[in-house]
Structure 1
Amino acid sequence: MNNASEKIDQLAILVNQRIEDIIKEFEGEKIKNIKLTLMDHKFELNSTKRKIVELIEEEIALQINEQQLTN
């Protein structure tokens, strides 16, 4: 069971790192273009891909809110 927990932790770290990489790729893009790109993947048959898109959207929203609070 401990091995499974470690693998889950490692996967979470990896997913978070990749999400940050993807968000960096979006830097300088217009919000509309980002939404269109994510929308293309939101209706995939692959449920994992849909969930990843949701995580990316949540992280982008979080970062936007943080920027608004600091401005």
Structure 2
Amino acid sequence: MFIANAGDDSVSAIDTGTRTVTATVKVGDQPGKMGVDPTTGLLMCRTVATLRSLWSMPRNRQ
């Protein structure tokens, strides 16, 4: 699971099994909408100023 932290200008990855943060990445001003590219497995995050590619995800994960 991925959470946009608008107040911190970052995105966090959450392990839903353990309910812990596994990574946090600064992405720029006010991250918002996110989606995973099904072809590349990259998580894309829209910020106020840009669209950024953040993580490569294993393709067998949902």
**TM-score, normalised relative to structure 2:** 0.23
Question: Computing the radius of gyration over CA atoms, which structure comes out larger, 1 or 2?
Answer: 1
Higher share of residues assigned strand: 2
Higher share of residues assigned helix: 1
**TM-score, normalised relative to structure 1:** 0.22
